[in-house]
A and B are shown apart, each in its own frame.
Chain A
Amino acid sequence: MLSSNWRRVAEAVVIPIAAILFALILFGIFCAACGQNPFAVYGLIIRSAFGSWRSFQGTLLRAAPLMLTALCTALPARLGLMIIGNEGALVMGGLGAIIMGLLFSYGSLLPSPEQVEKTLGLAPVIVQLAMAVGGIVFGGLWIAAVGALRHYRAVNETISSLLMNYIAIALLNHLVEGPMKDPASLNKPSTFPIPDAVSIGNLPTTRIHYGLLYGIIACIIAYVLIQRTTFGFAARTAGGNVKAARVAGLPVGKLAVIICFLAGSCAGLAGMVEVAAVQKQANTSLIAGYGYTGILVAFVARYNPVACTIVAVLLGGILNAGGALQRSLSMPDATVGVFQGLVFLVILYSESLYGRFKIFKEPEFNSPSPASASSTATPA
Chain B
Amino acid sequence: MAAALGWWGVPLGILAGTLRGSAPFLFVSLGECLTEKSGKINLGLEGTLLTGAMSAYAISYLGAEKWGLSPALSPWLGVIIAGIAGMVLGFIHAWLSQQPKVNDVAVGIAMIIFGSGIAFFLGKPFIQPKAPQLPTIDLGFWTSIPQVQSALKISPLFILGLLIAPLMAWFFKSTRWGLFVRAVGDSPDAALAMGISIKRVRMLCIVAGSFLAGIGGACLSLYYPGIWSESISSGQGLMAVALVIFARWNPINCLYASLFFGGAQAIGPALQAVGIEQGRYLFNAAPYVLTLVIMIITCSPKKTIGGAPGALGTISG
Contact = CB atoms under 8 A, between A and B. Distances in A.
Given A155-B295, A171-B285, A341-B117, A348 B241 contact: no
Contact of A167 (B102, B103, B292): B292
Contacts of B285: 166-167, 170-171
Given A170-B282, A174-B282, 11 more contacts: A153-B299, A153-B301, A162-B238, A163-B292, A164-B288, A173-B281, A333-B120, A337-B113, A337-B121, A344-B109, A354-B101
A345 B118 contact: no
Interface residues of B, number: 45
Nearest to B98: A352
The dominant DSSP class at the A interface is helix
5 contacts: A82-B106, A163-B239, A163-B288, A349-B96, A349-B99
A228 B45 CA distance: 40
B260 interface: no
Given A156-B295, A345-B114, A351-B102, A170 B278 contact: no
Contact of A337 (B117, B284, B289): B117
Nearest to A166: B288
Interface of B: 43, 92, 96, 99-103, 105-107, 109-111, 113-121, 124, 234-235, 238-239, 241-242, 278-279, 281-282, 284-285, 288-289, 291-292, 295-296, 299-301
Contacts of B234: 166
Given A154-B300, A159-B242, A295-B109, A338 B281 contact: no
Contacts of A349: 96, 99, 102
B279 A178 contact: yes
Given A166-B288, A348-B107, A334 B121 contact: yes
A133 to B, nearest CB: 26
B266 to A, nearest CB: 16
A153 B296 CA distance: 6
A336 B102 CA distance: 24
Contacts of A11: none
Contact of B120 (A151, A178, A337, A354): A337
B106 A167 contact: no
B100 to A, nearest CB: 5
A304 to B, nearest CB: 16
B157 to A, nearest CB: 25
Nearest to B300: A154
Contacts of A164: 288, 292
